[in-house]
Amino acid sequence: MIIHDSLFYVSGENRAHQLLLGMSVVRMHFFEIFLAPQLREWMGPLHETSAPHAVKYFDMFTTRFLREDHDLHAEYQEVMRRLLQLPDFGKLLDTSRKLPTRVTIPEHTEIPFYTCRVLLPWRLSPEIMLQFRSMVRFLYHGWPDHLVKRHYEEMLVPENYETEIALILSQLAATAPADAGMGDNEPEHSFLRQLLWILAIMRTVQEGLTTLDEENEEALHWEPETAFEHIYGELVATSSDTTSDKLLARFNTIIGAIEGKEMIDRQTILAMLRSFVSARSDADQLGKFLDQYAEVEIQ
């Protein structure tokens, strides 16, 4: 979730959005983020993205600032000068004004409404494109002078299980310890610790997919880090007589259960896990294991 002010400068964000982009974007302009060189490289041709639709909403919501007597007129003029210096923004603006898409604003503006479909590369593996529905809600500051103070809360709602898994893994990548809880540092025990960790990761993903599907109060408050800590602690506490074969069997069971519900296919899960693990410097053995596991699955 991010919050834009009336001129589309980002004034607030949550941690999930920071992890999605790999940085904080507060005080940046929305289109400076959208048109950043790295994101442009990952996303491909702009006319095939949601950029024209986003510009269309910006153009529509800021039209009133064109009036010279408007309180934000001078600031709007400065923003437009700044944006028109960005590569392709001028072309996007022309394209958006020619779009046949009808923009409908709901009567009750406190209710989130759909604006467009958003595709973003997963920062842990940019070839994987995450798919979202952009839902926007109006926020009013300084009532009754709401026309000047209207802000926008934008929520990116995952469209598929691949996107939900990527978001869960992104949150766990920053917090989940891969090397804790099983005693000494012998290679065999080190590998068992890493297997325990990836098993806890997959159980967390499985719990998340099941919980988030419910769309109830529990889903609203479900947090990957909290779930992982509970699951990982439970696994470590009962790991005194575990073996790699036992852990592998449980890993297989979870992968099969997720695939069996037709949420996502096995090879896609493994590819995402491999990208997730490769971002860590303390899980080399696990990376090799996943490569070998994937090769066996293909055969």
Question: Rounded CA gap, 274 and 45, in Å?
Answer: 28
User: Amino acid letter at 282?
Assistant: D
Q: Are residues 239 and 283 located together in one domain of the fold?
A: yes
Q: What is the mean pLDDT of residues 169-190?
A: 64
Please, are residues 161 and 213 in contact by the beta-carbon 8 Å criterion? no
Could you tell me the pTM of the whole model?
A: 0.84
Please, are residues 107 and 53 in contact by the beta-carbon 8 Å criterion? no
According to the model, what pLDDT value does residue 298 have? 52
The pLDDT tens digits for 115-148 are 888 888 898 998 899 999 999 998 876 544 445 5
User: Amino acid letter at 92?
Assistant: L
Q: Are residues 204 and 286 located together in one domain of the fold?
A: yes
Q: What is the mean pLDDT of residues 41-61?
A: 78
Q: What's the number of domains the chain is made of?
A: 2
Q: Are residues 77 and 173 located together in one domain of the fold?
A: no
Q: Are residues 149 and 197 located together in one domain of the fold?
A: no
- Boundary residue ending a domain (159, 178, 194): 159
Q: Are residues 229 and 141 located together in one domain of the fold?
A: no
According to the model, what pLDDT value does residue 242 have? 82
Residue with the larger pLDDT of the pair 250 and 298: 250
According to the model, what pLDDT value does residue 95 have? 86
* CATH number of residue 98's parent domain: 3.30.450.180
Lowest mean pLDDT among 92-101, 145-154, 191-200: 145-154
SS3 sequence, the chain? CEEECCCCEEEEECHHHHHHHCCCCCCCEHHHHHCCHHHHHHHCCHHHCCHHHHHHHHHHHCHHHHCCCCCCHHHHHHHHHHHCCCCCHHHHHHHHHHCCCCCCCCCCCCCCEEEEEEEEEECCEEEEEEEEEEEEEEEECCCCCHHHHEEEEEEEEECCHHHHHHHHHHHHHCCCCCCCCCCCCCHHHHHHHHHHHHHHHHHHHHHHHHHHHHCCHHHHHCCHHHHHHHHHHHHHHCCCCCCHHHHHHHHHHHHHHHHHCCCCCHHHHHHHHHHHHHCCCCCHHHHHHHHHHHHHHHC
Lowest mean pLDDT among 42-46, 228-232, 243-247: 42-46
Question: Rounded CA gap, 62 and 163, in Å?
Answer: 32
Long-range contacts of 64-70 (CB under 8 A, 24+ apart): 64/147, 65/6, 65/7, 70/148
Lowest mean pLDDT among 9-18, 63-72, 262-271: 262-271
The model's confidence at residue 206, banded by pLDDT at 50, 70 and 90, is very high
Q: What is the mean pLDDT of residues 238-256?
A: 87
Q: Return the bridge partners of 118, or none.
A: 132
Q: Are residues 153 and 171 located together in one domain of the fold?
A: no
Q: What is the mean pLDDT of residues 33-59?
A: 77
- Boundary residue ending a domain (128, 159, 190): 159
Residue with the larger pLDDT of the pair 93 and 215: 93
**Is the pLDDT score of 179 beyond 50?**
yes
According to the model, what pLDDT value does residue 272 have? 93
Question: Rounded CA gap, 201 and 258, in Å?
Answer: 13
The model's confidence at residue 181, banded by pLDDT at 50, 70 and 90, is very low
Q: Return the bridge partners of 116, or none.
A: 134
Domain region containing 200: 166-298
- Boundary residue ending a domain (124, 159, 194): 159
According to the model, what pLDDT value does residue 76 have? 96
